[in-house]
């Protein structure tokens, strides 16, 4: 049997003037990370931030790559999970970076999923008033979303990602082979963010996903196309609206509902971030249909596709109890997507036709939540 054809490496540029950077997408990039880092930042030292699960699979490969490039490094290991994004671990990482004698001209490397990327990036943004950092995302969700765009932060007891900063990476290495070690549930959760790009403004991409999602899950060329298409979509939006003063808010499709559900489940394994986004996108389309912005058939398509991919589409699929509509609305009120006390939703006029809605009546939201909780 002939060997599988190697996926071609693709580079997506995030255009932000002097702070522009590349997203490199391909296979076996981890083993080449040292060479790329040395070329980008000659003479640098590195502080690697990762978690125990990722370290088991990938840390040794990265460390060997840095050693081959004669780059000195120190590795900081944290616990895995959304609960790691807290004040305590921010202090742990910041102190470890300082103890490593990392200077402003050196590099913090985030090796892991969105939790590690957000936390390490935030620590890099505040240590010595700003140290460069690179993202090496090892989950699908991180490769297509959280590693790109410079949003860094930690969670507060008041809500998700409420403490943070915009701090762009200098390099993103999306090694597609690292996705082979992901648990199936984690991969499915990341896929919600892939589907999101089609639902926002690319109906043809969503249609392609409806036909090819199995191949994306299997790996190879379809997976590479899905990751690259997602990264190109996000890079374009970030390049036009870095600090989310307008268009970038579209990337929050499903997140207002989703973040409230994550808070309600205690940022635990009861509900992964991507699962919350999937449920949030279903609710956003249901709200859009209620307001007669989109057709009921659009809602059906969204539900069918996410369900086919193994994602939750009903609130009853979340283990344990959830707050009632008013409880969920209260959690939404703490979300970053609130403007002068008014909730901001990303709604849709159809597949690929998302828009920012600032004047949604709370009564309509409550009715949608009531219906969803009763299913």
Identify the CATH number of the domain in which residue 164 sits.
Answer: 3.40.50.1970
First to last CA, the chain: 49
Quick check: 284 pLDDT over 80? Answer: yes
Of 181, 206, 235, the one marking the end of a domain is: 181
Q: What is the pLDDT of residues 352-369, one digit of tens each?
A: 999 999 889 999 999 999
99-103, 322-326, 341-345: least confident range? 341-345
pLDDT the model gives residue 160: 85
Of 181, 205, 231, the one marking the end of a domain is: 181
112-121, 259-268, 297-306: least confident range? 259-268
Q: How confident is the model at residue 336 (pLDDT cuts 50, 70, 90)?
A: low
Average pLDDT on 79-102 reads: 95
pLDDT the model gives residue 371: 97
Same domain? 188 vs 177: no
Quick check: 11 pLDDT over 70? Answer: yes
Burial environment of residue 332 by CB neighbours within 10 A (0 to 12, 13 to 18, 19 or more): buried
Of 336 and 251, more confident: 251
Same domain? 361 vs 344: yes
Alpha-carbon span 339 to 244, nearest angstrom: 13
Same domain? 177 vs 201: no
Of 296 and 341, more confident: 296
pLDDT the model gives residue 4: 47
**Residue whose entry in the numeric block shows the structure tokens 């808010």:** 249
Find, among 261, 264, 271, 234, the residue nearest to 249 by Cα: 234
Alpha-carbon span 287 to 325, nearest angstrom: 14
Of 145, 161, 181, the one marking the end of a domain is: 181
Give helix 114-126 / helix 87-99 axis angle, nearest 10°: 60
pLDDT the model gives residue 366: 96
CA distances from 33 to 43, 174, 198, 311, 328 (A): 15, 11, 31, 33, 43
Quick check: 251 pLDDT over 90? Answer: yes
Burial environment of residue 211 by CB neighbours within 10 A (0 to 12, 13 to 18, 19 or more): exposed
Q: Which residues touch 89 (CB under 8 Å, ≥6 apart)?
A: 78, 119, 154
Q: How confident is the model at residue 150 (pLDDT cuts 50, 70, 90)?
A: very high
Give the residue numbers spanning the domain of 315: 184-374
Alpha-carbon span 38 to 70, nearest angstrom: 8
Q: Is residue 5 part of a domain?
A: no
Catalogue the active-site residues.
Answer: 129, 151, 193, 234, 244, 248, 252, 255, 259, 273
Q: What is the CATH number of the domain that holds 292?
A: 1.20.1090.10
Please count the structural domains in the chain. 2
Quick check: 28 pLDDT over 80? Answer: yes
Average pLDDT on 194-212 reads: 98
Question: pTM for the whole thing?
Answer: 0.94
Quick check: 1 pLDDT over 60? Answer: no
Alpha-carbon span 94 to 116, nearest angstrom: 13
Q: Is residue 294 part of a domain?
A: yes
Q: What is the pLDDT of residues 109-148, one digit of tens each?
A: 999 999 999 999 999 999 999 999 999 999 999 999 999 9
Same domain? 34 vs 149: yes
Quick check: 289 pLDDT over 50? Answer: yes
pLDDT the model gives residue 2: 43
Q: Is residue 1 part of a domain?
A: no
Quick check: 337 pLDDT over 80? Answer: no
């Amino acid at each position: 049997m002939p060997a599988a054809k190697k996926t071609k490496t693709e580079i997506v540029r995030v255009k932000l003037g002097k702070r522009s950077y590349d997203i490199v997408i391909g296979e076996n990039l981890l083993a080449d990370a040292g060479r790329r880092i040395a070329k980008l930042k000659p003479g640098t030292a590195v502080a690697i931030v990762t978690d125990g699960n990722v370290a088991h699979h990938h840390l040794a490969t990265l460390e060997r790559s840095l050693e081959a490039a004669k780059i000195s490094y120190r590795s900081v290991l944290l616990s895995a999970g959304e609960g790691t994004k807290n004040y305590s671990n921010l202090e742990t990482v910041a102190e470890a970076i300082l103890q490593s004698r990392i200077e402003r001209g050196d590099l913090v490397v985030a090796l892991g999923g969105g939790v590690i990327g957000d936390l390490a990036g935030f620590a890099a943004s505040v240590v010595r008033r700003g140290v460069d950092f690179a993202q090496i995302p090892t989950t699908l969700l991180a490769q297509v979303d959280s590693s790109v765009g410079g949003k860094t932060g930690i969670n507060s007891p008041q809500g998700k990602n409420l403490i943070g900063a915009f701090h762009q990476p200098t390099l993103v290495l999306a090694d597609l082979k690292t996705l082979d070690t992901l648990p199936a549930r984690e991969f499915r959760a990341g896929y919600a963010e892939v589907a999101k790009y089609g639902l926002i403004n690319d109906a043809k991409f969503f249609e392609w996903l409806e036909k090819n999602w199995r191949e994306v899950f299997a790996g190879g060329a379809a997976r590479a196309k899905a990751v690259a298409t997602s990264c190109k979509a996000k890079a374009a939006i970030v390049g036009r609206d870095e600090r989310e003063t307008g268009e970038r808010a579209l990337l929050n499709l499903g997140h207002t509902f989703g973040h409230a559900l994550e808070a309600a489940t205690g940022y635990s394994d009861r509900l992964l971030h991507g699962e919350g986004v999937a449920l949030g996108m279903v609710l956003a389309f249901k709200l859009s249909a209620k307001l007669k912005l989109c057709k009921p058939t659009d809602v059906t398509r969204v539900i069918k596709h996410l369900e086919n991919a193994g994602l939750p589409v009903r609130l009853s699929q979340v283990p344990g109890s959830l707050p009632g509509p008013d409880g969920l609305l209260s959690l939404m009120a703490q979300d970053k997507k609130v403007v002068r006390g008014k909730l901001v939703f990303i709604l849709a006029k159809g597949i690929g036709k998302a828009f920012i809605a600032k004047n949604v009546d709370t009564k309509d939201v409550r009715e949608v939540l009531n219906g969803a909780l009763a299913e």
